[in-house]
Amino acid sequence: MFNTSPSLVKSISVIIFIFLVISGLYFARQFLIPIAISALLAMLLVPLSRWFENKGLHRTLASLLCLLFLISILGGIIYLVSWQASGISENLYQISNRIEKIIEDIRQFVAENIGISKETQMQWMNGQPSSGSGAIGIAGSLLSSLMGIMVKCILVLVYVFLFLSSRSHLKKFILMLVPATDVKETEKIISDAGKVSQKYLSGLGMMIAILWLMYGIGFSIVGVESAIFFAVLCGLLEIVPFIGNLTGTSLTILMVISQGGSNGMVLGVFITYMMIQFIQTYILEPLVVGSEVNINPLFTILVLVFMEIIWGIPGMIMAIPMLGIVKIICDHVTPLKPFGYLIEKEKSKGDVLLSKRLQNLFRGQKKT
């Protein structure tokens, strides 16, 4: 018989528990993603709901007004994007011709320098059949996807309303699960987690609006066609950290090239991106978003990759605020405090001094 040490049994139990949690998150993603999005949005709208309630409105009516406010904001963003996209659609034929010319130049380059003939390249690209039934199948799958998105959006709105209207009931349920000695600490965890989500999401929204303005000015100066559309696109993609801003700028550069833009225009778009990233990192994020979601860049990337694997794009969008909530829990639970410290971002003295100087300069100019 083999002797099994208690520490080994405990380690195996933790590994099995983590595996079960990850498996549950993956296989139940269709059910959990709308709930997670709704919970974060409800946390964001709690201060507005309390404001309505302090004016004498019933919580149900206050929750309904918050829901209407959320719908109006989302509807305004969708209208803005569709309005700007209409300008691109007018020049879509010319852009497609330029893209075809660029693709043809790439094929010619590959054929001359790598030795892969154009016929072979066409065979690789046309590996998938494009028959009429295939087109019908693609249209059907697209329609099905749109219907699924609409159903999930309606579910999210319903969940947001229910979370707001019954938040006291849910909070009491959580407090009933913990011992009486830990009630105060649990209340603090719930409060801090809500504040982190509110601060991050509201700050992110404000920062996106500022990025719209800066990208719009920068792209207009450079001479990008439909500059406002690409400014809105780059700002909206900021909800996916690291990857979103790179994706938006890359799409803008590709569109500039397809529109026949010069090398100077491409360089101007890249310089605009670098300048805005500097302002965003050292001024906007500390000043607007704040330091509540203080996450190490390594774990930011790890959690983004992890959430993309199990929940896709919605997981990447929710990764940072959810990791911030996990950090709050780790900071308040004694056995988990080392993990909270591990997740926390460690700033160098140079970064702190530079950020403080830029913030003080910005605040001083704002007062005057």
pLDDT digits (tens, 9 = 90+) for 191-227: 888 888 788 888 888 888 888 899 989 888 888 877 8
Burial class of 284 by CB neighbour count within 10 A (0 to 12, 13 to 18, 19+): buried
What torsion, rounded to 10 degrees, do the Cα atoms 348, 353, 356, 359 define? -100
Contact present, 184 and 195 (Cβ < 8 Å): no
368: tokens are 């005057």
Query: Does 127 map to a domain?
Result: no
Can you tell me the distance from the alpha carbon of 259 to that of 308, in angstroms, rounded to the nearest whole number?
32
pLDDT value at 132 more than 80: no
Residue-level pLDDT at 149: 78
| Short-list 354, 211, 204, CA closest to 273 | 211
pLDDT value at 117 more than 50: yes
Residue-level pLDDT at 133: 44
177: tokens are 């699960």
Between 115-124, 151-160, 321-330, the lowest mean confidence (pLDDT) is in 115-124
Burial class of 10 by CB neighbour count within 10 A (0 to 12, 13 to 18, 19+): exposed
E-strand stretches of the chain: none
Can you tell me the distance from the alpha carbon of 189 to that of 212, in angstroms, rounded to the nearest whole number?
34
pLDDT in tens, 251-304: 788 778 776 667 788 888 889 988 988 888 777 776 666 555 667 778 888 888
Structural domain including 46 reads: 10-121+157-367
pLDDT in tens, 217-236: 988 888 887 788 888 888 88
Q: Could you report how far apart the first and last alpha carbons of the chain are, in Å? A: 79
Query: Does 134 map to a domain?
Result: no
Query: Does 260 map to a domain?
Result: yes
The string of DSSP letters for 262-291 reads: -HHHHHHHHHHHHHHHHHIIIIIIIIII-S
C-alpha 267: how far from chain center: 27
Burial class of 65 by CB neighbour count within 10 A (0 to 12, 13 to 18, 19+): middle
Distances (CA, A) of 186 to 158, 173, 341: 27, 12, 20
| Short-list 297, 276, 291, CA closest to 208 | 276
Residue-level pLDDT at 71: 92
Query: Does 172 map to a domain?
Result: yes
- Looking at per-residue pLDDT, the higher value among 166 and 317 belongs to 166
pLDDT category at 364 given cuts 50, 70, 90 is low
What torsion, rounded to 10 degrees, do the Cα atoms 297, 301, 302, 303 define? 100
Taking residues 322-347, report their average pLDDT. 82
| Short-list 342, 267, 248, CA closest to 299 | 342
Query: Does 189 map to a domain?
Result: yes
Query: Does 138 map to a domain?
Result: no
Can you tell me the distance from the alpha carbon of 317 to that of 230, in angstroms, rounded to the nearest whole number?
20
- Exposure letters 289-305 (e unless 16+ CB within 10 A, then b): beebbebbeebbeebbe
Query: Does 147 map to a domain?
Result: no
Number of domains in the chain: 1
- Collapsed DSSP state (helix, strand, coil) of residue 295: strand
What secondary structure letter does DSSP report for 287? Answer: I
Query: Does 176 map to a domain?
Result: yes
Residue 262 has, within 13 A of its CA and on its CB side, a CA count of 5
